[in-house]
Copies of this chain bind each other. A is one copy, B any other.
Amino acid sequence: MLYKISLGTSDINKYRLIQSRELIDEVVSLGKDLKGLRLCHINSTPFGGGVAELLVSYIPLLRVLGIEADWQVIRGDRHFFTITKGLHNALQGAPLEEIKKQSVRRRYLSNNLSNARELDPNYDVFIVNDPQPAALRHYSPESKAKWIWRCHVDSSQPDATVWNFLRPYIQEYDAAVFTTKKFVPKNLRLGKITTMTPAICAFSSKNMFIKKYVCREMLENLGFDHNRFLVTQVSRFDRWKDPFGTISAYRLAKKEIPGLQLAMIGSFAQDDPEGWDMYADIQAEANKDDDMFIYSNLTGIGNMEVNAFQRASDVIIQKSIREGFGLVVAEALWKETPVIAGNAGGIPLQMTGNLSNYLVNSVEECAEKIVHLLRDPALCQRLGEEGKEIVTREFLMPRLVRDELRLIKSLVNK
């Protein structure tokens, strides 16, 4: 089960340059209180998706604070992950007929059983992310550890059958954490239910400061004309991210803003055939328009390029229809780039104040906001500053560390 992931390093004191002394002091003090605590985060994939993105910067920060934090990834075969992808979608409300089959339930549970058997019993706290490994707690009956289930998706209206299946396993945990209150399924009964939003690392290659001229140079080398406007969407090629809605909005906006350019940047995760089909469809759209560019991790676009796109684009779009949190929104706001985003899931938690005017519910609204923003650079700048303030205050790693360590402290001191 153990799978070494090349982790970053972190330095909590770097955050003193950008965050309040109270916050960092509290984080350091929580670290001291919990010094030597053995903590294990468990999820189902070493890369691809928000949870892995988060843990890769989060775990090193805990270690710096004196927590003996590890990250382990459960094993599973293609069948198991097909089931768990279904569970994941079902928590977001999509029906999953297969879950009625005994064989499907058995496969899910026997996988969790065999992973549970490989767990090191000496951890003090396990934090289990999302439904894939949710039954690990059930199969660790002897465990003296505290168990936290962390749900990253919008589970406000889960498919009833799937939820009835999962709920008893989740109710065995000491605590459950959701991104926002709205996401907590109504009939969940548990000792402690709490909320905390995810966060981004200010210093990773995705978010580190890169001078604007370097970003522009990179974009120019890729073929963009910096005399014309550029709007960009960064997200997996997934229907919930509504890429075709983004393309339609771009086309509408282009009628008002001739020469407008669009970049669609996606990444492919392991075993994601849906992503491939959608990529081909988006590619077909791009064939019709010289100003539309498609990029992915397969064409050499990595974290630094995404960073550069988020900094050098005039507007970032994230037209999600459903969204757990939407880390890319925080990433773009952190870079002072104005964002137009779907009014879905955890996005409104980030787009507060004046930014909430740029939450959209339709293609037309999205197009209109694009035109509005591109015509008003002073407004863009004000929104950019406001966005950065919000992220600095609420969505950087130390705040998440504080929330999680507070929770842990409350559990282990019981």
Interface size range on A against B:
35 or more
Q: How far is the CB of A222 from chain B (nearest CB, A)?
A: 5
Residues A223 and B304 in contact in the complex (CB < 8 Å), given A218-B208, A270-B298:
no
**Which residue numbers of A lie inside 8 Å of B, CB to CB?**
2-4, 6-9, 46-48, 60, 203-206, 208, 210, 214, 217-218, 220-223, 225, 267-270, 283, 286-287, 293-295, 297-306, 308
Interchain CB contact under 8 A, B223 and A6? yes
Residues A221 and B8 in contact in the complex (CB < 8 Å), given A210-B214, A214-B210:
yes
Interchain CB contact under 8 A, B223 and A8? yes
Residues A304 and B218 in contact in the complex (CB < 8 Å), given A6-B223, A6-B294:
yes
Residues A6 and B210 in contact in the complex (CB < 8 Å), given A223-B60, A304-B308, A305-B303:
no
Of B208, B220, B297, the contact of A221 (CB 8 Å cutoff):
B208
> A210's closest neighbor in chain B, by CB?
B214
Cβ of A218: which chain B residues have Cβ within 8 Å of it? 205, 208, 304
Residues A9 and B223 in contact in the complex (CB < 8 Å), given A205-B218, A287-B4:
yes
> A11's closest neighbor in chain B, by CB?
B220
Which 10 A-B pairs give the minimum distances between C-beta atoms?
A302-B302, A304-B304, A300-B303, A6-B293, A4-B287, A297-B297, A47-B299, A9-B223, A301-B302, A8-B223
Grouping DSSP codes into helix (H, G, I), strand (E, B) and loop, the A interface class, with mixed when no group exceeds half, is loop
Rounded to whole angstroms, the CA-CA distance of A217 and B6 in the bound complex is: 16
Of B47, B205, B221, B268, the contact of A205 (CB 8 Å cutoff):
B221
> A204's closest neighbor in chain B, by CB?
B221
Rounded to whole angstroms, the CA-CA distance of A4 and B284 in the bound complex is: 8
Cβ of A204: which chain B residues have Cβ within 8 Å of it? 221
Rounded to whole angstroms, the CA-CA distance of A223 and B4 in the bound complex is: 14
Q: How far is the CB of A69 from chain B (nearest CB, A)?
A: 14
Other A-B contacts than A208-B217, A297-B302, A300-B306, 15 sampled, CB-CB below 8 A, are A4-B283, A6-B295, A8-B223, A9-B220, A47-B299, A205-B305, A208-B218, A208-B221, A214-B214, A267-B300, A268-B298, A269-B298, A300-B303, A304-B304, A304-B308
Q: Please name 8 pairs of A and B residues whose Cβ atoms are closer than 8 Å in the assembled complex, sorted by A.
A: A4-B283, A6-B294, A7-B223, A9-B223, A205-B305, A297-B298, A301-B302, A302-B306
> A2's closest neighbor in chain B, by CB?
B287
Cβ of A9: which chain B residues have Cβ within 8 Å of it? 220-221, 223, 225
Cβ of A287: which chain B residues have Cβ within 8 Å of it? 2, 4
